[in-house]
């Protein structure tokens, strides 16, 4: 059984993951409206992954005797000045997600909630990948600077990202990055 405090914090994270999906879908729409279809595709896949993360929390809360609670999701920004500004914001956002997950792990350990601690370890590892992916793209965008050819090539490269499913602990499907 989840403690009420852990249940509330997991629900907060579930809803923050919904916001993450909403944010990335907004970025995808902005990119695609500006004919950056590769960047838009990358963000669309990211939005899909975040929804799978939501379902992981949903499943865990239910399996531990809790109740997932959907809350109001704030509207994200709808436009970014450049691909660099959008991906920089995505990286900052992922760093916030990491700190939130680390706080959940700390709470699970403090409460001796080993099941939640074990469940959250997948997300700890996932966040290393999430930050690394966003950081790599930010660095590449900084390298190409104002080069239209460089931005074009990176946009084309990111169009190859696909959404696929795999399993996370507990049998809940999770997204992976395809090449």
| Residues of the chain with confidence (pLDDT) below 70 | 166-179
Q: What is the DSSP string of 147-179?
A: -HHHHHHHHHHHTT-EEEEEEEGGGEEEEEEE-
Closest to 90 (Cα-Cα) out of 135, 52, 149, 152 = 135
pTM (predicted TM-score): 0.91
Look at the block and give the residue holding tokens 């993951």.
Answer: 17
CA distance 120 to 116: 6
The domain 4-163 is placed in CATH, from the list 3.40.309.10, 3.40.50.1980, 1.10.287.1080, 1.20.1260.10, at 1.20.1260.10
pLDDT tens per residue across span 141-161: 999 999 999 999 999 999 999
């Amino acid at each position: 059984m989840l403690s009420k405090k852990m249940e509330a914090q997991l629900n907060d994270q579930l809803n923050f993951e919904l916001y993450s999906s909403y944010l990335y879908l907004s970025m995808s729409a902005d990119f695609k409206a500006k004919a950056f279809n590769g960047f838009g595709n990358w963000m669309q896949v990211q939005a899909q992954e975040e929804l799978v993360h939501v379902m992981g929390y949903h499943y865990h809360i239910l399996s531990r005797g809790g109740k997932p609670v959907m809350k109001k999701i704030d509207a994200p920004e709808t436009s970014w000045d450049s691909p660099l500004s959008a991906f920089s914001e995505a990286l900052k956002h992922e760093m916030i997600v990491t700190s939130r997950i680390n706080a959940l792990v700390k709470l699970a350990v403090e409460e001796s909630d080993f099941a939640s601690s074990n469940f959250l370890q997948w997300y700890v590892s996932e966040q290393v990948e999430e930050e690394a992916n966003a950081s790599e793209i930010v660095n590449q965008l900084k390298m190409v600077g104002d080069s239209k050819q460089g931005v074009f090539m990176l946009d084309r490269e990111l169009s190859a990202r696909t959404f696929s499913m795999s399993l996370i602990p507990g049998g809940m499907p999770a997204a992976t990055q395809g090449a």
